[in-house]
Amino acid sequence: MPLVSGKILLEIANEHNFAIGAFNFNNMEFLKAILEAAEEEEAPVFIQTTESALKYAGIEYLAGMVHAVKDKYSIPFALHLDHGKNLESILLAIRYGYTSVMIDYSDKPFGENLKITKEVVSICAPLGIAVEAELGKLEGIEDGVISREKVLINPEEAKEFVDKTGVDALAPAIGTAHGAFKFKGKPMLDFERLKKVKELTGIALVLHGASGVYSEYVEDINKYGGEITGATGVPEEDVKKAVDLGINKVNTDTDLRLAFIATLRKLLAEEKKNVDPRKLFKPAMDEVKKVVKRRIKLYKSQGKAHFIKVRTN
């Protein structure tokens, strides 16, 4: 099945109470690992690029690869712009055949966020392109801190935002953060708030900053010359609970990076005579593939590819 609209993926996941994995890529190695893993698990999937990925590789390369390989796979997948920061990025993604975009004005006042999101929906909806927006800020929260009201999503605001913008998906800030250092203390996700947002909006919800930061990769990175002591992620149990409470898309980037880098560090240390990058990248890709499969199972999207039925001609 070729590229499909993010709308259909979000709708089906919302209807059937599971989440679809959204994995970031910057190069051929990650893209291939993600698509192969999803194909083998018969899972629908989002493949996504941030603006910095586009800056690194160029949109011609990243979108070009996707369009060149899309018919090799039978699973439905959407090409998504992750954390689009302005209208120019959105328009660029549309020109390059993206089927889903995120407009992220979460660091701006509520009114501005609402206005730009409405505008993006008015452009994308007629084209069948899904729109995701974010409310609240992606910062780890600490126990008992009053500032949580300032950082996390306000469920009543979420209801107003969804009604007025017509977005397809909303990313609620509930205490997760991007990267390999998510929490100062114990992981704390505000599940009550998540539940309320789902009850009030009924919309497809997206969990950002969801990586598990698995200890086996952190240990290998530290063992072979890296220094990421104290790295922490979201426990798998918490991700599972979030999916049960209404999360329909889960973003994972850091876990793939850690798997890749841990493998590279280990091989570089062990194979001192190797000068062929492929002998490093292939095992690293295989490790990324393993993580993608693990996450797909965690989100309950394994075997769900056939739920998506779209006309392809």
Number of residues located near ligand TD3, criterion CB under 6 A: 15
Q: Which of 208, 257, 295, 304 is the binder for Zn ion (CB under 5 A)?
A: 208
> With respect to ligand TD3, which residue has the nearer C-beta, 66 or 207?
207
Dist. CA 136–CA 223, nearest whole Å: 37
Q: Which of 252, 293, 295, 298 is the binder for ligand TD3 (CB under 6 A)?
A: 252
> Considering only CA atoms, which of 41, 8, 95, 99 is closest in space to residue 296?
41
Active-site pick, 82, 220, 238, 253 = 82
Which DSSP string do the residues of 173-189 spell out, in sequence order?
Answer: -SS--SSSB--SSS---
Burial 121-139, CB ≥16 within 10 A → b, else e: beebeeeebbbbbbbbebb
Does position 41 bind ligand TD3 by CB under 6 A?
Answer: no
> With respect to Zn ion, which residue has the nearer C-beta, 100 or 251?
251
Give kind and range of the element (H or E) at residue 249. strand 247-252
Dist. CA 21–CA 5, nearest whole Å: 15
For residues 89 to 128, the per-residue mask of contacts with ligand TD3, x marking binding by CB under 6 A and - elsewhere, is ----------------------------------------
Q: How far is the CB of 41 from ligand TD3 (least distance, A)?
A: 19
* E-assigned strand segments in 28-143: 45-49, 77-84, 100-103, 130-135
Q: How far is the CB of 211 from ligand TD3 (least distance, A)?
A: 3
| In contact, 33 and 288? CB cutoff 8 Å | yes
Six token digits for residue 267: 């091989």
Region binding ligand TD3 by CB under 6 A among candidate stretches 127-135, 148-156, 160-168, 249-257: 249-257
Q: Restricting to residues 187-216, which ones interact with ligand TD3 according to CB under 6 A?
A: 208-211
Region binding Zn ion by CB under 5 A among candidate stretches 10-18, 156-164, 251-259, 291-299: 251-259
Residue type, 176: T
104 catalytic residue (yes or no): no
Please identify every residue annotated as catalytic.
82
What are the residues binding Zn ion (CB under 5 A)? 208, 251
Chain positions contacting ligand TD3, by CB under 6 A:
24, 50, 82-83, 178-179, 208-211, 251-255
